[in-house]
Structure 1
Amino acid sequence: MSLALYLHPLASFCHKVLLALYENGTPFESRIVDLMNDEASARYLNIWQVGKIPVLRDESRNQTIPETSIIIEYLEQHYPGSRPLLPKDEAVRLDARLWDRFFDLYVQVPMQKIVIDRLRPEDGHDPLGVAEARDTLKTAYRMIEQRMSDKVWAVGESFSLADCAAAPALFFANIVEPFSSTHPNLAAYFERLLARPSFQRVLTEARPYFPMFPYREAMQARFL
């Protein structure tokens, strides 16, 4: 198979790319990377020296593509499906890229900071950093709440790159800093994302790994 995605089924940034692949039914091979295993991690560094996942490998074009947004744009360019994830209109496309970065930087990143802090030893916690991350999430929630007051999807009228970024970011953020009872527009948008067959498939594949999630006790029963 030409395309291989190096990933872990629990990693939220990997979910973003999986959504794009599943939305268009793009054939690919999953290659799970266990970064906690020294031998597996060392092998993966031969693929991408930064050591981050996901990474797409395209054997037919001899290309290794890192970074989620670039991977999705690469797929759109070379393996387009029936559901374009980048709008054709240039202004709307720029907006999609903006909100893709918004969900990555202001939802995914602070969420991960909170999660990672729980994994640290007792003498290694960063309470100030966690408090700042929670404040960033609250600001992001307010902005998304306002934006989704008159929208079905994050950008334009169709599911896009921005929604691929939003779904996993909001899924895990709602666990560590809940928004469902305080932000009705955001909560309704999140439910629409959850209803996408592509995202349901991502969560089904991730479910066996949920016991590894540091905030598992805060996950809603419907996801377990």
Structure 2
Amino acid sequence: MNQFELERLLNQKLNIAAISDYAPNGLQVEGRAEIHKIVTGVTASQALIDKAVACNADAIIVHHGYFWKNEDPCLRGMKGKRIKTLLVNDINLYAYHLPLDVHPELGNNARLAKLLGIENLRPLESDTLSIPVFGQLAQPVSPADFSQRIERVLKRKPTVCNAEELSQNPPHLIRKIGICTGGGQGYIDLAAAQGCDAFISGEISEQTTHSAREQGIHYFACGHHATERYGVWALGEWLAQEYKLEAEFIDIDNPA
């Protein structure tokens, strides 16, 4: 497949024209014209690029690419080495940030919800392209049981803020759950206002603990990387199924 045809298909599938973002979505670094082998991963780190070079990939597709707003534009140091490796090896780099968070089928929120058994996802904000979403479990579970489910699925133990630590009237069981993968901890107040029993994101901030305790909502910080593995993975699988491209997800471990 031609590199620009692949970009057109991805842009259309992920509806990038409808989403304002902090970085350019699409083809960020141009490589060889024809694409057969694709590596997918969460972040365009040097380790991922080196893996792509080793397996002779024509393209890399990531969730976290380059050229963020307010980023130093100079190609030097770590950033220069990464891009030089791509150019020397003629590898295309595609990146999709918010479009890969909010997509109802392939998005990070949607895929994480499916893995955790959270159904009937709806926008947590009034915008239909809301970044945070919420859904429900078929059967309510205790905070301890839900924490164990997260650990089993993501292969990492979440940081848990139990609403029972301070709130006078916390939910004793969890059914309605808000989700925003990655750095979405700031949406916990919106989730509490919308009556969620629990909220999931990747990262946690100092104030998140107080919000959970004082508003009576259970909070699970599951890791930025861990919660955002599954969208780009699913995107690669979609390309393999629909367009017969070879796609390999490579997970570069990250404890954050």
Choose between structure 1 and 2: higher helix proportion: 1
Task: Report the TM-score, using the length of structure 1 for normalisation.
Answer: 0.28
Which has the higher relative contact order, 1 or 2, with Cα contacts under 8 A spaced 6 or more apart?
A: 1
TM-score (norm 2): 0.26
Higher Cα radius of gyration: 2
